[in-house]
Structure 1
């Protein structure tokens, strides 16, 4: 009987070393994504959600009685001016959007309380549910037609705001630097007060500038779809992009573990000694 057969611990240790050796050889020809590539992918996914915010805010403000679905700062200001007697400024719409956005953030926050900083199944389920919410809103606006009743507009804006609250909370939990997906005021402050002051090529070409440009482009696209196609087209595009982020994020957000388990090492050790 060989020494490895007599001592299972030695056999597992040998198997672990054997796996580590073969893994080094494999990595020389088929290395996994680097940390920089992984970070770029994460930033890109957050930028897509930021684009969605621009699209939906354009839909909300221009098509749903001046209600922002993602930019809650705008709703607070509009609500205040409406309560102060501002001409033709809504009160109920912004108020309902604020409440539903907060509800979405609360639900997501409670669901993700024990899972900060890492994509998990709960995030996938939340974003998938949000995708279906947007699909439902698109179908509803398509069926009702271009002349959306005031009450229906408030309901559509409210359910979109609910999804945006979930999205904003997920972005905070994932904690990709400068990627809130729903606001650019703090992003613009950081860009001007830090990057512009520092100067250089990266002062303009960076993720902060990208977030501002992307939310701007989203609002442009949302406006064009609203005016020349239909409100449902803009919401459908947002649903498609949110669903795509959900699938890609679920599959590739987290780095793949390359460490062998003790069980696998023991099995390899047994095969080697036979």
Structure 2
């Protein structure tokens, strides 16, 4: 008799990482001038506001966020392709090291920012760029993992799925626990991140997010299924 394959640790890891999205977006929106570095939909909308000359919205931060987010996704795509036939843990740990390093460097730079005045401008843009690269890298990595209903950064389709697949809509309510968990994780991360930004500063939520990425991924990498290549 063939022994059953060990269950995947990925859903648990991605739920945990979803909380870091709330931390990063709290830091970027509240500390970097209304810029999202984990969610690009908001930046496209805000860029439209800026293009129309709306007071309080500048073009440069949103362009930097979008461009560097895409750069992070390109890097993650290359890393994922290089690890197709290698044990999953190797890919996950290397990806976590990259993301953590980016967030910790951003946290160090954030220590010298005047959040109220958004100065020095170069440092503000550097933190935007570093966190956007980290989140673009994360999004592309999670996309390659193909875990249903857990993107770790975007909730629009998750909320749509809850409603559209509900019994009220004639569905069976599939993956309800996972979907609700993703919403709760990002909500909790955003709430904690907001408290930290308002009462402690911008660097702490970024440093905490990096620590969570590293610790969560290392715990996941210890799972027996992480010995197998992706998709096996």
Which TM-score band applies after superposition, normalised by the shorter structure? 0.7 to 0.9
Match of 1:166 in 2: 137
Question: Following the alignment from structure 1 to structure 2, what is the Cα–Cα distance between the partners of residues 218 and 199?
Answer: 30
Deviations 1:47-105 (A, max 9, x none): 11111111111110111011101000011110111101222112111111100010110
Question: Following the alignment from structure 1 to structure 2, what is the Cα–Cα distance between the partners of residues 212 and 189?
Answer: 12
Question: Following the alignment from structure 1 to structure 2, what is the Cα–Cα distance between the partners of residues 113 and 204?
Answer: 28
Question: Following the alignment from structure 2 to structure 1, what is the Cα–Cα distance between the partners of residues 17 and 11?
Answer: 10
Question: For the pair shown, which has the larger CA radius of gyration, 1 or 2?
Answer: 1
Match of 1:235 in 2: 206
Deviations 1:191-232 (A, max 9, x none): 1111353577x6795111111121111111110000011111
Tell whether 2:71 aligns with 1:100.
no
Matches within 5 A, 1:65-84: 65-84=33-52
Q: Conserved in 2, the CA contact under 8 Å of 1:42 and 1:253? A: no
Deviating more after overlay: 203-212 vs 71-80 = 203-212
Answer 1 or 2: which has greater helix percent.
Answer: 1
Q: Matched residue pairs, number?
A: 224
Q: Conserved in 2, the CA contact under 8 Å of 1:119 and 1:249? A: no
CA distance 1:218–1:84, shift in 2 (3 Å): same
Q: By how many angstroms is 1:134 displaced? A: 1.1
Query: For 1:89, what is the secondary structure of its paired residue?
Result: coil
Structure 1: segments with no counterpart, 5+ residues:
1-19, 258-274
Deviating more after overlay: 113-122 vs 66-75 = 113-122
Question: Following the alignment from structure 1 to structure 2, what is the Cα–Cα distance between the partners of residues 222 and 88?
Answer: 23
Match of 1:56 in 2: 24
Match of 2:180 in 1: 209
CA distance 1:198–1:204, shift in 2 (3 Å): farther
Q: Please provide the CA RMSD for this pair.
A: 2.6
Question: Following the alignment from structure 1 to structure 2, what is the Cα–Cα distance between the partners of residues 111 and 71?
Answer: 22
Query: For 2:88, what is the secondary structure of its paired residue?
Result: coil
Could you tell me which of 69, 83, 97 is aligned with 1:128? 97
Could you tell me which of 118, 122, 135 is aligned with 1:151? 122
Q: By how many angstroms is 1:136 displaced? A: 1.4
Match of 1:177 in 2: 148
Question: Following the alignment from structure 1 to structure 2, what is the Cα–Cα distance between the partners of residues 214 and 199?
Answer: 25
Deviations 1:18-39 (A, max 9, x none): xx9xxx9xx8xxxx9x74xx34
**TM-score normalised by L of structure 2:** 0.86
Q: By how many angstroms is 1:130 displaced? A: 1.4
Q: By how many angstroms is 1:133 displaced? A: 1.5
Deviating more after overlay: 90-99 vs 146-155 = 146-155
